[in-house]
Each structure stands twice: as structure tokens, then as C-alpha cells.
Amino acid sequence: MTDLVQPLIPEPAVPSVRDEAYVTMANNDLSAMLCLVLGNSLWLSRTSRSLVILVTDGVSHAFRHLLSCVFNVVLSVRSLGTQGTTKLALLEQPDIGVSYTKLHAWRLTQFSKCVFLDAGMLVVQNCDELFERDELSAVPDIGWPDCFNSGLFVYVPSMQTFWDLISFAERQGSFDGGDQGLLNTYFRNWSADINRRLPFIYNLMANVCYTYKPAFRQFGQNVKVVQFLGGYKPWNVKFHPPTGTLSPAASVHPTYVQFVQFWIQIFVKRVLPLFSSTIQTKVNEQRYTCALDILQHFPSFLVAEPVVCLPAPSLRTHPKPIIYLPPGPRIAPESTPGTSPPDMTATVTEPGVSETVQERGIEPDTKGASDPDAHNAHTVPKEKDLPKLLSVAVDDNCNILPEAIVEPTAVDDLSGMLAWEQGRADYMGEHCSDNIMAKLDELIGPGVQSK
């Protein structure tokens, strides 16, 4: 880390109002770099509030160190996602496919009121008057003005609200697959109170401001916060490193080129000097570069969220899954006149299979199928007919069954378990019935079949 940033970095400014804060979030090094610009833009606007940033495991230690020189509080949080690392998974709801990490902002109860800003925003003028607004105050979304844009909003931290949002996410989810849909559904009365509808100057979506040029000409000088959307994000725009002037090839709309230029000037004058002299030398050697390209000088820091294999699903919230046995008799039916006996070489001791399945918290289908004859061919012994204790002796040297006709499966590969729990089983491929039976056969071992 010491060879990536300056050995001595400045301390953040001391706010005069310490019980209110601007809050943002970074989940990787790129968003952390954007937050460095956002934080500096807040200090340049002479804010009197504290600056707080929430960082996840995807932010490297080097950038965490840099963030500490801009933000008064740097807090590490865990991603609220779908892989079992959050209460959503603890509540046995792994199928909610949305990341709600932003909800951690409501846990900052040391502050009486906060303003949340996304990382890709820029403060142009002081906007501390936002703290006079009530929860939840936000700017209407340009795509659907009856909803608010969650890039900036005023809120009151509360653990009760945090858990209510988590519970609401568990029950309802999000209609747009993100936090904006969730928050709009939870704060559904937002549009009823005109005082909670912030003016557009507090969240100017830079990719559309030119669609109403006369209005921008009239009110553009009052813009206080800009959100960069679309394909013209300033961290993708090439500039001359020593001066920060835009590349002649940069295709930025003239209406909001001033905001892109302001973002790049902050990056060149206040963020780039925080990097080590080695990185600064490499950057200055290039005629034109962009903030995104500068990240390549930092070591790759890609932390995949760990896949957590949950225990057997609770009967409280999950229905019992059904295992469909493959065609063909697994137990010899009672012989009837004129019927040839089945091939006993393909017979599997069904009590052993049933016992193994029950040990994993899964019950086989015994309620019948659409074909009565097929049901008779796949009858599973009742629980009272099964032995209470089954002693399984497996020979360590018997790794492959002599009669196996399918490729052995990876017994220790638990990656498919999560897919089953989320209802995404690959019935025609990895999770086909032949592979299921092969895994059961390998788990049971030939010692049971020989008894």
C-alpha cells in the first residue's frame, strides 16, 4: 500500500456540525475513486457537515487509506446481496436477487439526519440546506417522475427503519431490480407531499439536461448537484494529465461540458496528488488518459463474494423438494404371470437411497405421479418399513463402481446446492436424474448393495 499512495496524506476537514452527515458508498476501487472526487467537491462547496463513506470488501486497502484523508468516517460494511452473507440469507431467502447494501446507511444512528449521494455525483454548489428537509426527500426520476431518483435523498438514520426495510425487501423485493425500486415502494407516499419533492437542481441528470435547452439556459446557473449518467461519464473522458484539459477527441455535449471539466479538475488537482510519485510519473508520461485508465496502475483487487452453502432448507419457509427417479425399475416388482423378471444388475437397494436422502433433509416423492403404472414401478418403502439405524460400510478403495456406465460426478462440489435452493436446477444437464443417481450410488457405496 505504501508504494501506491503518498506517505503523508492530509487529514479531512473538521466539520462544525457533527450530528449531520453526507453519506456515500463504494463497493470497488473505481467507485472509491469517484467518491474521492465527490468528497472533495463537498469540501470545495464549504460544507459544514461530516462526510461518511461505507465501503465493502471490494475496496482495496490502498483506496481505503486514501478515503480516510477525505472522509471523516470510513466504515466497512458487508454486502447485502444474495449469497448468504446477510440477514436475507439468515432468513432463508436466498432467491432475492437484488443488492441492498445501501440500506446500511440507515444504521448510522450517531447522526440525527443524513443526505445520501451516489458515488457518481458531483456537488457544484453548497447544498447544506437539504438538512432542513424531512425524510424521505428526493428529486423526481426523469424516467418516471412519480418515482424519486435514489441517487440523492434526505433520510433519518434509524435501526427500526433499517430492519423494516430488510423485512420489506424479504417480502416484496424490488420492482426494478435495485434499491430505487425498493425505496420507492417502501416510501410510497413520497409523491403525496410536495415538500418532499426536491427541485431538479439537487440532482441534475447530466445526460438529459440538454433535452430542454431553454430551461437549462434559464436555471443552469442554480444547479447544485450533478449526477453523471449515460455514456459520457467524466471518468471515461480523456484529458491531458498535467493541465486537466479535455482531449480534442472527447465527445462531450457542450451543455454539460462544464461539469465534466470540473470533475476532471478536481481529480487532477486533489485526487491524483494523493497517489505515489511512481504512479504520477507514469500518468504524466501519457499525452491523454482518463481516470479509469489510471486504475490499471494499481494491483488487481477482485474479491468475489463467497458462495455460502446454506444448511438444509427449513420446513418453515421452503417446500420439500421432489427427486424424480429416472425411468426404469429401481426395485423389482412382484412377479406376475407372463412378465419376465427385471434385470437385477441395475437394481439399487432402495432403503439405502431413501435413508441417504432423508439424512440430507429431502423427502422422495411418495404421493403419486401422473402415470399410475410408473408410480408402481418406483414405489419407495414406507418409513415404518425402513431400518431405524443403517450401518454403511464403504471400502476406501472402491472409488468407482464396476458397473457404472456414466462418468463419475464430483461429490464434494457443493456449487449446485445453491442453484437447487434458488430453484435454478439444471434438469437437462448437471442435475439430470442420471447424475443424481450416480452421486447417490457413490455416496452409498457397493458395501450396501452387497448386503
Residue 409 lies in a domain: yes
Conformation bin of residue 244: beta by default, left when phi > 0, alpha when psi is -120 to 50: left
Last residue of a domain, one of 277, 297, 317: 297
The segment with the largest mean pLDDT, out of 28-42, 251-265, 307-321, is: 28-42
User: In this predicted structure, what is the pLDDT of residue 348?
Assistant: 40
DSSP H or E run through 64: helix 61-67
- Name the band, by pLDDT with cuts 50, 70 and 90, for residue 215: confident
Residue 304 lies in a domain: no
User: Looking at the DSSP assignment, which residues form a beta bridge with residue 239?
Assistant: 246, 289
Whether residues 273 and 381 share a domain: the answer is: no
- Name the band, by pLDDT with cuts 50, 70 and 90, for residue 300: low
CB-side exposure of 27: number of CA atoms within 13 Å?
A: 13
Whether residues 217 and 129 share a domain: the answer is: yes
Whether residues 183 and 289 share a domain: the answer is: yes
C-alpha cell at 408: 463419475
| Pairing outcome for strands 121-123 and 17-26 | unpaired
Conformation bin of residue 361: beta by default, left when phi > 0, alpha when psi is -120 to 50: left
Answer for the pair 203, 139: CB distance below 8 angstroms, yes or no: yes
Domain that holds residue 40: 17-297
With a CB cutoff of 8 Å and minimum separation 6, the contacts of 385 are 351
- Name the band, by pLDDT with cuts 50, 70 and 90, for residue 142: confident
Report pTM: 0.64
What's the CATH number where 193 sits?
Answer: 3.90.550.10
Instruction: Report, as an integer, the average pLDDT of 361-373.
Output: 43
Residue 289 lies in a domain: yes
**Total domains present in the chain:** 2
Residue 109 predicted with pLDDT over 70: yes
Q: Which of helix, strand or coil describes residue 412?
A: coil
Residue 328 lies in a domain: no
Task: At 226, give phi and psi (nearest 5°).
Answer: -120, 135
The segment with the largest mean pLDDT, out of 201-210, 276-285, 375-384, is: 276-285
Task: Label residue 431 exposed, middle or buried (CB < 10 Å: 0-12, 13-18, 19+).
Answer: middle
- Name the band, by pLDDT with cuts 50, 70 and 90, for residue 10: low
Residue 12 lies in a domain: no
User: In this predicted structure, what is the pLDDT of residue 158?
Assistant: 97
76-95: per-residue pLDDT in tens? 998 775 433 344 443 344 43
The segment with the largest mean pLDDT, out of 138-147, 290-299, 376-385, 409-418, is: 138-147
How much is the mean pLDDT over the chain? 73
Whether residues 348 and 293 share a domain: the answer is: no
Task: Label residue 234 exposed, middle or buried (CB < 10 Å: 0-12, 13-18, 19+).
Answer: buried
Task: Label residue 185 exposed, middle or buried (CB < 10 Å: 0-12, 13-18, 19+).
Answer: middle
Whether residues 283 and 409 share a domain: the answer is: no
Task: Label residue 227 exposed, middle or buried (CB < 10 Å: 0-12, 13-18, 19+).
Answer: buried
Whether residues 99 and 228 share a domain: the answer is: yes
